[in-house]
Amino acid sequence: MNKPVGAITRGTTAHNRLRRCDRWIAAVHGRRLRAVDRPLVVDLGYGASHVTTLELFTRLRRVSPGVEVVGIEIDPARVAVAKPYEREGLSFRLGGFELPVSRPPVLIRAFNVLRQYAEAEAWHYWDVLRGRLAPYGVLVEGTSSENGRRAVWVGLSSRGPETITFSARFDAFERPSDLADRLPKTLIHRNVPGERIHTFLRDFDHAWAVSAPYGVHGARQRWLAAVQALAGTWPVPTRPPLGGAARWRLGEVTLPWPAVSPRD
Ligand SMILES: C[S@@+](CC[C@H](N)C(=O)[O-])C[C@H]1O[C@@H](n2cnc3c(N)ncnc32)[C@H](O)[C@@H]1O
């Protein structure tokens, strides 16, 4: 076997850390998984424990009973630790960005992996990974806090980045721009005046501030009001599966990637 492409990095992970993103994947991309007989899903860089891969498997089996999940890790010791947890439809193997799988995945989840690479590498591996997708497949690449209460992820098709999603528990932030510390590597250095992501977070903070009166009914109502206000000036999808109250009430908002993409 050739050497896996990439580098071993910190293996930090936790139970339910990626729950917010899994929930979004099931709701937004469940139909994509059901459209295929034995859809293959790759969880790239699952870390020191198999737990988030098992959770992804369990959640996706509910919406797509034929789904097969392969956890790929570049650290052989972490693969050995995960192997005993294999079962029908769930396996773990050694590998890197080359993705050692026998057929193209319909979905690749890579969470808290690319943030540990340089920005230029992150752009490059976006291209590499989306090039490995099955037709109509999706790459979900994101970053979360250690307990998963704040997360930002990008959805990419084989053509390139398509969506960006911001997601937070209501008690895990003071203002929406607190999520800036979870931006993907491709955006984190772009959160400066003149860049779209910076303008968006500034406007989101403003919408949050002017929606303060809704806070008497709870942070959820305030978030709903703030996102609705944002949708007046930003291209926030307002209908399912990407938008609408059913998603926003979870402390989530998705935008088309071009709304926040870097200017150069
Ligand atoms: C911080 S952990 C993230 C674990 C889990 N995905 C989560 O979000 O909780 C990052 C893991 O990605 C692995 N990793 C880094 N580059 C990789 C690559 N190119 N291919 C496979 N695994 C990789 C690291 O070895 C590490 O175990």
Per-residue pLDDT of the chain (264 residues; tens, 9 = 90+): 689 999 999 999 999 999 999 999 999 999 999 999 999 999 999 999 999 999 999 999 999 999 999 999 999 999 999 999 999 999 999 999 999 999 999 999 999 999 999 999 999 999 999 999 999 999 999 999 999 999 999 999 999 999 999 999 999 999 999 999 999 999 999 999 999 999 999 999 999 999 999 999 999 999 999 999 999 999 999 999 999 999 999 999 999 999 999 998
State which of 113, 114, 182 you would mutate to test the pocket of ligand 1, scoring each by most atoms of that ligand within 8 A of its C-beta.
Answer: 113
| Interatomic CA distance for residues 250 and 118, integer angstroms | 32
DSSP string, 133-183: SPTT-EEEEEEE-TTSSEEEEEEEETTEEEEEEEEE-TTS-SSGGGGGGG-
* pLDDT given for residue 84 in this prediction: 98
Pairing status of strand 40-44 against strand 150-157: unpaired
User: Residue 100 C-alpha to ligand 1 middle, in angstroms?
Assistant: 15
| Interatomic CA distance for residues 122 and 41, integer angstroms | 21
* Domains along the sequence of the chain with CATH: 1-169 (3.40.50.150), 190-255 (no CATH)
State which of 9, 15, 41 you would mutate to test the pocket of ligand 1, scoring each by most atoms of that ligand within 8 A of its C-beta.
Answer: 9
User: Residue 252 C-alpha to ligand 1 middle, in angstroms?
Assistant: 24
Which tokens hold the place of 195?
């860049």
| Interatomic CA distance for residues 91 and 46, integer angstroms | 12
